[in-house]
Structure formats: C-alpha cells, structure tokens
A and B are shown apart, each in its own frame.
Chain A
Amino acid sequence: MEEEDELPLLTAVSSSARQLYLLLRCINFAEKAHVQINDGGLQFSVDEASVMEGSAFLSKDLFTTYTFRAPAPSQREINDSDDEDAPLEPDLPTFQISLPALLETLQIFGLTDPSTSKPHWARDAPASTATGGAFTNNVLGMNNMCRIAYASPGSPLSIVLTEASIRTTCNLTTYEPTFANEIPFDRQALAFKTIMRGTWLYDAVAELSSTSPEKLTLWARTRARKPYFALSSSGTLGSARVEFNNTPVTRAPPPTNNAGTVDAGAPQVNLLETFQLSDPTTPFRASYKFSLIQRAARTMSVATKVSVRVDEQGVLSLQFMIEVEPGKVSFVDFRFVPLVEDDEDVEETQFLGGEEESDESVMEDEDEL
C-alpha cells in the first residue's frame, strides 16, 4: 500500500487543453461535477435536482499519456472494459470538483491565444471549433500541453498547463461525492430510438425556444412503414411543432389548428439514420421540461450525431457524438426524467387529430406518385 501511495493514481497528459475544454463545456450547468476515474478515461458528470444528468467522458484516446493505477487490488476486480457505459465501480476513485473553476483553468491561455485576435467571424463558430477548421490551434500546433494528476484519495486534482515559458498549476479541491443515484435508464427495454445529426436537433430546439415554452414533447410512430418523428413545444405563449420525415416531402404539411409547423432539413436526405419503436402500432409520446432540454443545446450544436433513446419508463437519453478532431470521437450523455402527464386526453385529441389529417393528405399525394 505504502509503495503505491508514492505513485499518483492518475497521470494524464493531453496536447490540447482546448479539446478537454470543449467537451467539458457541454455539461457546464452545475457548480460541482462528479469525477470518476477508470481505466478507460475520466468521467465527469453533473446533475440537476435529480431530474437531469449530464456526463462527459474524456476517453484516454484524448490523452497522449494516460496512466491509471487502480487502487487496492484486494478490494475488488477492476472493470477492464473501455466502454464508457461501464457500471460505476464503487472502489474506483470518485470525487467532486468545482466545474466552473476547472473550465476557467483549461482556458487560462485562451486570451493570449493568437486565434482570439482574429475577427469575430473567424472564430468560435460552434461547428468549426469542434471539428477543427484549417486555422485552429490544433492544426497549427499552437495548442498547449495539459497534464492532469490525481495523487491519492483526498488529494487535490492537479492540472498543469504549459505554454511557451508560462506554467500554470491549478490544484482543485476534491470533495466527497454526494451519493446521488444516477437516473436509471434501461437500455434493454427501449420504447423508442432514433439517430440523427446533432445540429438538426439543435435547430429544432432553437426554433421551438422562441415561444419560451415549458414543455417539450417527443412524438414518434411508423406510418405506412415510414418513420415519423416530431418535437412539439407548448407553453403560455402557444405551441409549435417541428417534424422530421424520412420520406421526401414535396411541401410542408398544412399547419394544424393551433400549431405552427416548421419543416426541418433538406428533403432528399434521410433525416433519421435509425428509427426503432418497440411497438410500431401505437404512436409514441413523452414530455420533458423544455428548460432542461435546452441545457443540452450547446452540445447539440457541436455534436456530429445524436442518439435519442427513451426507455419504457419514459426516461430520455441523449447521447452525443462529438468529433474533437477528425477521426477522434467523444461522447457526452444527457438523461432526463419525463414529466408526468395529466392533461393527456385533451392534447392527444388535439394533436393527433390535426396531425392525422395533414399527414394523410401528404401520404395520399405520395401514393399517387
């Protein structure tokens, strides 16, 4: 034991603090983040009132060196898998740190970056920073070294950033984890699953947010073997709906009684990569608090793909695939607890009634073609 204590539990070196920053920024909605270290990487998770969870996984692929010395082999066997979904092992190092402090530290050299002297339009476009345009620091090799170390349980998480002749050391106080249960999500019993581009989901949510709604409802069903997926929002100012159709649509369906309809995406492309419904015969719907979904908006805007899954309990899982640099993907996960529906009947008739009508008319047109 004593010999082990001399070697730090974790040493990880990254050549780009910016990549780590971009990923961790996605879950920047809480003061404290839980950190769990395992063989595959570092898992950062935040939680909001136990109804929303976000987690970013800094896989060891993001680091040039990643050395994790599992503590006390006597306690239990360490999970060896690289899967970021590996169940939480109780004896893996887990602690809390201040997330805003970590984020500020990671961009400590941001202001002296030559890239920030560029005009505003040439930087920080959400799409280009994540994937890395031709003139980002990653490509130009201007990135700064970042070393993360965690010596032993109870010691601070230390981050060392080096740029030219400046070295910044930050020791983040580690706090005892608050044993909040993570939101249970049963991926064996999925009610609905679809995969689409992150930016499309972002556009849809951004579009809906204009009426500052309280509630976001997901709709999904299969009609004539064609998938149909819609997001609708409702609030005091009214309601709106964004539909995703896989089949080519020649024109937008006529607006329903009280819903403004927005046609999303180019008609030629299949908007939904995967589409699964556990019960294709009945339409699927589930509602969530809009303001919580919006917390994931920044992630949506930088993600290449998003997998939208809902289990039988109605828990929504949004899994985002983010390309930090070409060929290197990372994942950020969000989970949301559904809203309990009380005025179900009223809305069901309103929505499905109107929608059925418009849908039918489109279908008929297509059948004739």
Chain B
Amino acid sequence: MRFKAQIHNIQTFTKLTASLNSLGPLAWLKLSDEQVCFTIIPEQGTQVWAVLSIDTIFDTYAVQSAANNVINLEVPLGPLNRALKSALNATSAQMRLTKKDSIPLLALTISTTSSNNSYSAFPAGANRDDNAIFDDHFGGNRETIITQEVPIRVLAPDVVSGLHEPQTREPDVHIVLPPLMQLKSISDRFTKLAMAGARAGSGTATTRTRLEMAANMHGCLKMSLKTDAMSISSVWTDLVNPELDPSQVANGDIGIVEHPSTRMKLLGSADGQSDEGWASVSIDGKDWGKVMSVGRLGGRVIACFCHEHALILYVYLPTDSGEDESVLTYYISSYSA
C-alpha cells in the first residue's frame, strides 16, 4: 500500500479541511487513481460527500494497493488542517502514507524558505511573493524542512463497503445560491435574532434555531425564522434555476417533462410574493452556518430542494483545467414540520 503526492494547491486544501472539520472531526478519505474523496458522516447533522479531481489539490500523485489501487483511510480533520496550515508559506509540500512504530501516518513534508535575522528588519505585512524576491536578491534565505505526522487509521474495503451516498428523490426545485458568505452573514444574524427572541420569550426558549429555507423555480430563495417575539424572512430574487440536462435525467426528455421541477415551474412568481410554488425545508441554524463555511472556497453552489424532505447542496470547486470539476455534495435533511 503506497501513497505519495505533491500538494499543488495548499490554500484550497487548507480551506477545504477547515470547512469540513466544522461538520465532523473524522473523514473517510478514499484515494484512487482518478479521484480523491472526502466523506463525513456525523452522528447527526449534515453529511458531506466530496469528490475532488486529483489536480484540484495534488500534483504528482501515486497510489498503489492490493485492492484495485484504492486506499481507504480514516483521517482526523483537525490535525490534518493544523498540519496544512503550517504549510501555507511552503515552497513545496509533499504528503505520503507511512508507518512509525506500527502506527499508520500521513506524513506531510513541508519545505519553506525562511530568512535570516537581517531580513526581519523589513516591515511586516509585505507580500509573500515580494519576500521571496528579496530573499533571492539578498541571499538571506535558508531552507527548512518540516515534517508533520498525522496519525490515521487504514480502513479495510469491507468496512467502507457499507457506506453509501444518501438516496434522495428528484428535487422539486433547483437553484443557484447567492454567494455563500453573504448567505452566511444573514443566516448568522437570524441565529442571533432567534437567541434574542428566546431571551425575551417567557421560558419557552428552544436551544435549536429552526431556519426555514425555501426556493421556487422563478429564481427566488427565501430564508425565514419565527420566534415568539418576531418573524423574519429574507427573499432573494433574480437567481438562476439551471436547466436540466436531458442526458443526466432518467428517461431523457420524457423524464424532464415528468420531473417535479417542471411542475413547480407552473406555480409561484418571480417576485417571491406568491405563497405557491415554494419547496421548503426546515433545518438547524447552527448546522447551516457550518455548511456555509465552505463559501470561503468560492465555488458555484446549486441547491436542490426536496420539499419537506432534504436540501442537497452541490458545491463546484473552481479548477485550473476547467475539466472534470470537483464537487462537494452536502446532504441536509429537513426536520419534520
């Protein structure tokens, strides 16, 4: 069993592990010839199934195992994220699977160019690229190698064979979400409001904040919250409902005609004022805030609403090549109404 790879995009990898870590401490990492998969299945809350193309985070990449060159690992996300953080200034970073005293490890070898003392007289805050140039000019650089070891667990194929991506019915509404950071800032306000309302309320305070998310097929997204003291809702309009690709839908064109979203198109209006045509889910405010933290990766997000059932987010990470996009899939199940 061998795995060795050069990390090509440390920033993205760090942000990815940080946002995954907010949902659960352990991830199932599946390394294969074609892709890298991160899966987080917490006790409760949102599941993430991330499928990354290799070139999203790795450069030279080699994986070998007896089981069709697939390696399954259980990785603690916190330590992995901390290890990656120390690689942020690195000139190069390499990750490989190794063993130390019969404990399997992911070893992260980071080489950085640190500078000598004369250099520290320059004001801080200068751009890192500038620093590198300065170093080259003044010859004050010195290479440092840091090795971070993250203890992991190797999972046997039959352990992971029972794990399957959740099956959901065809969504009623699919919509491109506004920038997640904007959505997060408003949903965080909502959570705060719920707490303010709970304090004012007479002892009936609920610790959970139930956010109501809804969307229609006319470019509207609605987020609402109700407490004793108030009810609040924000409506986004002019969003995009992407067209379904007949080749991706069961039964092709007929499938699209019979698709629930086609029926939903007939209901509701583009100004978001109508009460009809909304597919809504009821989710936990805090959990939603954690999911939104993936916004720092800056991808395109499509939300699929299965009315009163589940909300599925597809986060498409931007890639250099433009081909085989990496996608993170979030399964958020709805509270029963």
Asked, given contacts A104-B192, A112-B185, A173-B228, whether A167 binds B235 with beta carbons under 8 Å apart, the answer is yes
User: Contact: A104 with B234, CB < 8 Å?
Assistant: no
**How far apart are the CA atoms of A98 and B159 in the complex, in Å?**
53
B284, chain A: closest CB distance, angstroms: 19
Asked, given contacts A108-B186, A166-B235, A167-B237, whether A101 binds B193 with beta carbons under 8 Å apart, the answer is yes
Asked, given contacts A101-B196, A104-B189, A111-B189, whether A171 binds B230 with beta carbons under 8 Å apart, the answer is yes
Q: Which residues of B contact A104 (CB under 8 A)?
A: 189, 192-193, 196
**B24 interfacial contact with A, CB 8 Å:** no
Q: Which residues of B contact A101 (CB under 8 A)?
A: 193, 196-197, 200, 227, 229-230
Which range holds the interface residue count of chain A?
A: 20 to 34
> Which of A100, A107, A111, A169 interacts with B233 by CB under 8 Å?
A169
Q: Which residues of A contact B274 (CB under 8 A)?
A: none
User: Contact: B189 with A100, CB < 8 Å?
Assistant: no
Q: Which residues of B contact A168 (CB under 8 A)?
A: 186, 232-235
**A165 interfacial contact with B, CB 8 Å:** yes
**How far apart are the CA atoms of A101 and B72 in the complex, in Å?**
48
Q: Which residues of A contact B231 (CB under 8 A)?
A: 156, 170-171
**A32 interfacial contact with B, CB 8 Å:** yes
A150, chain B: closest CB distance, angstroms: 14
Q: Which residues of A contact B182 (CB under 8 A)?
A: 112
Classify the secondary structure of A's interface with B. Answer: mixed
Asked, given contacts A104-B189, A111-B189, A112-B186, whether A171 binds B232 with beta carbons under 8 Å apart, the answer is yes
Closest to B223 in A: A168
Q: Which residues of B contact A156 (CB under 8 A)?
A: 230-231
**How far apart are the CA atoms of A104 and B185 in the complex, in Å?**
12
- Interface residues of chain B, those whose CB is within 8 Å of chain A, are 178, 182, 185-186, 188-189, 192-193, 196-197, 199-200, 227-238, 272
Known contacts A101-B227, A165-B238; 17 further A-B pairs (Cβ under 8 A): A31-B200, A98-B197, A101-B193, A101-B200, A101-B230, A104-B193, A108-B186, A165-B237, A166-B237, A167-B234, A167-B237, A168-B233, A169-B233, A169-B235, A170-B232, A172-B230, A173-B230
- Interface residues of chain A, those whose CB is within 8 Å of chain B, are 31-32, 97-98, 100-101, 104-105, 107-109, 111-112, 156, 165-173
Q: Can you list 11 pairs linking A and B with CB atoms under 8 Å apart?
A: A105-B230, A108-B189, A108-B234, A109-B186, A165-B238, A166-B186, A166-B236, A167-B237, A170-B231, A170-B232, A173-B230
